[in-house]
A and B are shown apart, each in its own frame.
Chain A
Amino acid sequence: MAQPLAVEARGLEKSYGDLTVLAGVDLTVHSGTVYGLLGPNGAGKTTTVRILTTLLRPDGGQARVAGFDIERERKSLRRNITLTGQYAAVDELQTGEENLIMMGRLRGLPRPDARRRAGELLERFDLTEAGRRRASTYSGGMRRRLDLAAGLVVPPSVIFLDEPTTGLDLRSRQGMWQVIGDLVSTGVTVFLTTQYLEEADQLADRIGVIDGGKLVAEGTSAELKSQVADARLDLTLADRATYDHLHRTLDDRVVHTDPARLVLGVPTDGSARHVRALLDEIDPNRSQVNKFGLHNATLDDVFLALTGHPAEPSHDEEKEPAGV
């Protein structure tokens, strides 16, 4: 028998009026793995998550999550998953503990069990002291942790995390990574979305890159990186005329440009032989290249190569994840 699948989606489509948000998305996530859906603002990440969690009906396509059909077996499906959405879903006027007890009760735990479970989760998420305070007094990172804990009162088989770290500072983000990494060791399947390449790289076993309503690439982080050259040779050129001339003659082979610093990048396998050959070819007179640097491919390069535009939002574009 094949490995059980936690998520299996074929041809998901969704439009709002003229706007096509998903144009046929296929997804396969194996149980016990972390899948990262990576895409820029408006790529359709939340839409995908809402469809898979039965909150939104697709216009076309079908999917099974935790073994249940998203249309025909909604109730069983909902009982086996949890969703921690992009916008915090905690009651500010309740304490952290009360929020968790409430979730336990809604998940069918008797009150004493719900209370005990809340205590365990507060401890595990480093919120024991804050547990008796109202959630309105929490920092962004604490709120996110509480939100995540709320999805774990009864261990689900698939956890959906929609942009779990957007809007958090670096420290809180690293804290969340730790927490999510720990989750995986409990055997649960995690489906997360992110705008951050680094996050997908850190957390996900497999990564799907979504852009313009389609999955433009899919694979492990290493596989994706190998879709572009392993490495890039960045050449700092002597002057503007040389830069323009080489840009024209190398044409398609240029994979990176930085006109302000007169840098052109070309793909290489990184070996000394290949680098020497490239330098000899591009600069036979040894006068046009001032410096060179070797740059190992990152997911950023992959994203750029696949979609034609950079992935990461600039930092001041980031929005606060908390709701109103």
Chain B
Amino acid sequence: MSSPTLALPTAAPAPSRLADWTTMIGRCLRVSRRNPEAIIISLALPIMLMLLFVYLFGGAINTGTAYVTYVVPGVLLLCAGFGCSITAQTVSHDLNTGVIDRFRSMDVSGAALLAGHVVASLARNVVATTLVLVVAFLIGFRPNAGLADWLAAGGILLLFMLMMSWLAAAVGLLTKSPEGAGGFTFFVSFLPYPSSAFVPVHTMPSWIQGFAENQPITPVIESLRALLLGLPVGSHPLHAILWCVGLLAVSIWLSGVLFRRRTG
């Protein structure tokens, strides 16, 4: 084909990719702030569950400590899970509106777009889990942890939330509609039950114990619990980190594959 087109000017300055990342992160943080309903929903359910477990069932469950202290790590994870299901929905929303075509036609990378969602997801989760902790303190949560323990627990929780956020992004890319992506909520609300989140595993039927002992939530919860209560942590943090890093790698890889598939 002939190309008699040299005369056309190059219109835009070469864009800096770093600005794409910061701009997309700024976008998602701003949009999150304007949608407080989302955070409230992801907070309300875990807090209600915590109250329910502590005041209704707590008396009947013997965990060796005050039940509220036992249950807080599980509630934190549940809260993070609900927060991430919003991420699945916002990612799905972007992919189902004209927004994605515009960003792609501007050469914004999928990585920058998804990173915006993931960072906003982490920010929402940090706010929500902090609020859950405040409520927990108000109803009698009394951890026994030094600064190093708190930092370690925070780090593991953050890693878990990062992993869940990327997993949610993958779910958002996989589902055809934001409503479908909301189904992630169901998945995350189910996972903590067959774990040591609410009751000790040894009280469960033996056929569930095998699953509960070995699913990724359990080492995360056990690590948080041991760190916050000043108990020996054993190999739980190692297992927790391996699980989270592994699932994080899979989720990021899956997101990349799905993004390319969705956007041809």
Cα distance, A109 to B8, chains bound together (Å): 21
List residues of A (87-122) whose CB comes within 8 Å of B's CBs: 87-91, 93-94, 98, 102-103, 105-109
Q: A79-B107, A94-B27 are in contact. Are A55 and B101 (CB under 8 A)?
A: yes
Tell whether, in the assembled complex, residue B104 and residue A55 are in contact, meaning their CB atoms are under 8 Å apart.
yes
B16 vs chain A, min Cβ distance (A)? 6
A313 vs chain B, min Cβ distance (A)? 20
List residues of B (59-109) whose CB comes within 8 Å of A's CBs: 93, 96-99, 101-108
Please give, as numbers and ranges, the residues of chain A lying within 8 Å of B104 by CB-CB distance. 55
Please give, as numbers and ranges, the residues of chain A lying within 8 Å of B101 by CB-CB distance. 50, 53, 55, 83, 85, 89
Binding site for A on B (CB under 8 A): 1-16, 19-20, 22-23, 26-27, 30-31, 34-35, 93, 96-99, 101-108, 178, 263-264
Please give, as numbers and ranges, the residues of chain B lying within 8 Å of A2 by CB-CB distance. 2, 4
Cα distance, A154 to B107, chains bound together (Å): 14
Cα distance, A88 to B264, chains bound together (Å): 21
What 5 pairs across the A-B complex have the smallest Cβ distances? A67-B5, A108-B15, A323-B97, A89-B98, A87-B98
Cα distance, A89 to B97, chains bound together (Å): 7
A206 contacts the other chain (CB 8 A)? no
Enumerate 27 A-B pairs (CB-CB under 8 Å) in ascending A order: A4-B4, A53-B105, A55-B264, A57-B264, A62-B1, A64-B3, A66-B8, A67-B5, A76-B10, A79-B12, A80-B8, A86-B98, A89-B98, A91-B31, A91-B99, A93-B31, A93-B35, A94-B31, A94-B34, A107-B13, A107-B15, A108-B13, A108-B14, A134-B34, A150-B102, A154-B11, A157-B8
Tell whether, in the assembled complex, residue A85 and residue B98 are in contact, meaning their CB atoms are under 8 Å apart.
yes
A141 contacts the other chain (CB 8 A)? no
Please give, as numbers and ranges, the residues of chain B lying within 8 Å of A238 by CB-CB distance. none
Tell whether, in the assembled complex, residue B97 and residue A87 are in contact, meaning their CB atoms are under 8 Å apart.
yes
Q: A87-B97, A93-B35, A102-B27 are in contact. Are A5 and B5 (CB under 8 A)?
A: yes
Tell whether, in the assembled complex, residue B96 and residue A324 are in contact, meaning their CB atoms are under 8 Å apart.
yes
Pick the contact of A89: B5, B11, B102 (CB < 8 A): B102
Pick the contact of A102: B11, B23, B93, B107 (CB < 8 A): B23
Tell whether, in the assembled complex, residue B31 and residue A4 are in contact, meaning their CB atoms are under 8 Å apart.
no
Tell whether, in the assembled complex, residue B16 and residue A79 are in contact, meaning their CB atoms are under 8 Å apart.
no
